[in-house]
Structure 1
């Protein structure tokens, strides 16, 4: 009898344990798989519309309607426009902001449901009518909190029932333990361990629900750009203003093909020069010191001196020659003095007197030149006006004949030397592009006739502003050819290079939606590239801010 009663109690205990195991799992599953809050970038109620001239986005923020008005083709904000809204409360005029943002008081947004609006936009001579619909709903954060509270109440009721059932079963098992011995005690221990193992699972599930509610609240309360599951990029108008996103309508046209040539900056040979020493000697600085790099100098400025060294044998020869000249000068001076006394009496002619005077002046000049050659150094004079591009003069430095002491370049007159591997006609025009993306117009100057590593040098002159260029700087020369090709010409900033090396652009598919399109491009000129495949003409393409859209995750 007792054994039957024990088996019945053990069956009852197993049943209670199974019920305890199944009940919390069912409660957690019902809470976890309920209606999920929408995880979308457009969490705030909004409506959008566009036409050939404008596109408009209206966002409900509390009891106000925030309106963003942009040009359809360029995505440029429209300022100073007049917007009238036909609302459920009657016609109302929007207050204009300074950045193309407009605001309307909309107390009728407090009611949840569908609201149809009609916007009449007048900007300059253009007037357009744009209808749109806004679907409002109760506050998402409040809904999530209500769902969490309801789920929490359900879990609390289940927990109370489990506690009461567990207490009853525990009392029965305790009574059996007093009479049944070790088997009953083991059953009580197993039952207790099982209940302890189920409690953390319920707590873990509750923490997961709190995390979901927090994500939903964050999504509702803030506007942020994000990449959607279909690969599109959602960018609210507020973020587009920060990114300064601009677009253009891609049009197919015929363009001249471009050939890329490697090139480098060289100085204009008519506006640059070297300062060299004609003789070897020791350098010495002028009164103001040696000019520093980048110093602007004028033509004819003295940049330094070179004092040639004099050997001992040369000094001896010079002294001997000086002695001979001094002796001849003394003889001629006495002769000239005597002729001056005799000239008035007519004893000698005036011609003899003048010849003696000229002979004396010539001897003195020869004597002075020898003395000057021993003392005066050679002056280093700037041959052209410009800036000191190169130079390493040091006082006391010994320079050899024909060595370059300074290199002077006029920074406003620079040339480009490109290497061409095929016959070109650069008279049609060319452009140079640096690694930073800056472009310069070029004028053809001439083509070399001698080969240089299987190529021919071609010279161009840089026109316009040359700021940012340096002699020896490498760049790319783009020369127009006779060949033509059809394609879409877009700015280089429109093309983004992906991590896989593929080029792609962003299509503006909706006022706040952008889609990446893989394309194949070819260089067109310094500012634009040619899309030859992968994009359909007539659609809007991002021309500015594409690199920022690519970083949205």
Structure 2
């Protein structure tokens, strides 16, 4: 063989290595029928006899019936958990005399955000102090009347009048007290007001309803404030919601409590429970809106970002093999099957995949032993045998 002839073999070797299983005839370009189940008499590709050193690395397991979950994937969007959102508004008219928190600050529940000076509050404090004094006087009179009535010193009519006055002043006092507490004043502050030691009684202080981050600030020092005006928004993104839409026939397969997987772009998947399925289909898309609650303490999910959501459901038992045993040889997807004479590659037709398993529709039978460890080694042996046989041709 001349030097030129030796060089001419390489294109043939490369072509054979790419095809792996041989070029076949002209009809190989036509769509092939699904492979039949493998039996002991079914003709396979050439039997592979791996070297002795390789035998110890090969492991097999039987093809058996298993439940292969079907995976449903849909686009989703991250939203704030509404239980983790608080909008802070004023209940009275006034002016910001001190701003304690700024945009981006982390605040704890009860932390002051802004102090508002208000004539309305001053008037209410004055009414409160007067009502407190009247209530105390009326209560003392009523207690004295109770003792005198027991000794039959005063009439029943006088006693009833004193009791009515006591109840009336007490109700007025309690009403004003509740107004002040609804504005954010505490028991301690009210006590200080009654004792005359509260130096800032004219200030209405708004505090953070929840712990979180200030994501909106609509107030600055000296700004006028109207009742109902939103001054701050505080959110806690340590738990978020993820919404998605499923076709009605898919949504029927799931229930509240099912576990799903949230897959952010460029980040690790997160497990999350399904907490809501809309009882009403969308009128335009005919889909069902679903919601997941996701723990987000590390802040990996950002509200308003797009993610993928995955749900799985199991069907009836079917023949299945681990996904790791299925490999490609040329254009065929298949598995390596153990036989008495060695190992052979068997093309298979697969169905659904999930949880690390692949459904086998055609190609192997229940009980056949497929190679689970050593698939790569057997592919290498098969490749070398085809290269060698092609080179001799």
Of the two, which has the highest radius of gyration?
A: 1
- TM class by shorter-chain length? 0.3 to 0.5
What TM-score comes out, normalization by structure 2 length?
Answer: 0.46
What TM-score comes out, normalization by structure 1 length?
Answer: 0.35
